[in-house]
């Protein structure tokens, strides 16, 4: 499948919000299901796009397949990043597009952005234990588990962390 990674357009905010919400709901990642308060934050792509960089994966027809929120160091969307780290969040791909490379392409785009930012030495992320497909992508791209940084945004939701050390490009 031909996949292009690009910044989200305003007309696509609702589409990506629903893809993200459905990914979390459909995979059983929200403790309170459709009543989970985090669902509103997942759907609020307009806010994310105003405060961070939201990227989408689109097919050759321009249809949005998924997206991710990229946060450079110091951005309010960073949860665990230190001053010399970028972070990405809310990686989601529509059920129909899974396995076609959209998720990996989005992660690679975040790595490229971090690598091109002066002073950034690493990129980090938080993930849930059940996000096995995402974990495979992270490991394949060289991310390493950082259990000492694992955390709980709320008492019932443990988040695992990963980090990729960014080496200068040859």
Residues 94-124: tens digit of each pLDDT: 999 998 999 999 999 999 999 999 999 999 9
Q: How far is CA 68 from CA 6, 30, 107, 148, in A?
A: 11, 18, 8, 24
Partners of 123 in beta bridges: 86, 164
Whether the pLDDT of residue 169 is over 60: the answer is: no
Conformation bin of residue 142: beta by default, left when phi > 0, alpha when psi is -120 to 50: left
d(CA 94, CA 58): 11
- pLDDT computed for residue 65 by the predictor: 98
Domain boundaries, the chain: 4-165
Closest to 93 in 3D by CA, of 81, 101, 85: 101
Q: Which fold has domain 4-165?
A: Aminopeptidase (3.40.630)
Q: Which residues contact 120 (CB under 8 A, 6 or more apart)?
A: 72, 73, 84, 85, 86, 114, 166
- pLDDT computed for residue 36 by the predictor: 83
Residues 13-66: tens digit of each pLDDT: 999 999 999 999 988 878 767 888 889 999 999 999 999 999 999 999 999 999
Structure tokens at 45: 């792509």
- What is the reported pTM? 0.94
- Residue 4 carries which DSSP code? E
């Amino acid at each position: 499948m031909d996949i292009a990674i690009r910044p989200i357009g305003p007309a696509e905010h609702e589409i990506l919000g629903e893809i993200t919400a459905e990914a979390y709901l459909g995979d059983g990642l929200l403790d309170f299901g459709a009543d989970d308060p985090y669902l509103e934050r997942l759907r609020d792509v307009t806010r994310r796009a105003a405060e961070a960089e939201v990227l989408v994966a689109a097919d050759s027809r321009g249809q949005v397949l998924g997206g991710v929120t990229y946060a450079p160091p110091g951005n309010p969307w960073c949860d665990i990043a230190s001053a010399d780290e970028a972070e990405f969040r809310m990686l989601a791909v529509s059920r129909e597009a899974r396995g076609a490379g959209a998720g990996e392409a989005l992660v690679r785009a975040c790595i490229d952005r971090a690598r091109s930012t002066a002073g950034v030495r690493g990129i980090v992320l938080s993930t849930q234990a059940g996000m096995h497909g995402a974990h495979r992508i992270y490991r394949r791209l060289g991310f390493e588990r950082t259990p000492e940084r694992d955390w709980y945004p709320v008492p019932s939701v443990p988040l695992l962390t990963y980090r990729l050390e960014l080496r200068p490009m040859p």
